[in-house]
Amino acid sequence: MLRYVFILIFGVAAFGQQPGDFVDVAQFSPHIKLDICYATDNNFLHRAVYPQARCFLRYETALALNEVQKELESIGLGLKIFDGYRPLSVQKMMWKIMPDARYVANPAKGSRHNRGAAVDVTLVDSTGKELDMPTPFDDFTERAHHDYNKLPPKVRLNRWILKTVMEKHGFKPIRTEWWHYDLTGWKKFPVEDISFDELDQRLHKAEKK
């Protein structure tokens, strides 16, 4: 607990953000790899819905994720992020294509992604190569569920490592997607529909203060 408070206090001084603010993960935790699929056509919508391949998260989410990255690095692994904060307008696009609450949150209630308190992640080795997981990202089948075990031992181990380390640092999985994790306490953050451009402007203003 004391270690977390120390990081929180000195992290704010270092990055200029306060708890509840959004941060740019590439600047906050540069060792974490990014593969923002929704900035490309390599996703279930088959088109880019983000203007930039960037990942924004609430300060608290990024802070906890940075601790996950540090622990993984101690065993020769790391994180790769597929998605972080997602504007509500994009959530509505997704719901039109996949109106199934097992895989896409109903925009009427909002997603943890819309709050900046959820991440879609996988593991990579020390060279940045993805480890074998049960499915590719955004595979809407039972094979992506955490309780699906008709998998090679190596794949089950990789899924277990990711889940164990994420949970240790305050994240909770959802049953149907091995890659999705919510930060504990996500309810305190409001659903947002802020564009990436506006978030970028906010960060620039914070840096100038």
List 177, 192, 198, 207, catalytic entry: 177
Q: Give dist(CA 8, CA 170) in Å, integer.
A: 15
The reply to whether 180 sits in an annotated binding site is yes
Residue 60 bears catalytic tag: no
b/e burial code for range 73-99 (CB count within 10 A of at least 16 → b): eeeebbbbbbbbbbbbebbebbbeeee
The reply to whether 169 sits in an annotated binding site is no
Catalytic residues, by residue number, are 177
Known binding-site residues for Zn(2+) equal 113, 120, 180
Numbered residues of the known binding site: 113, 120, 180
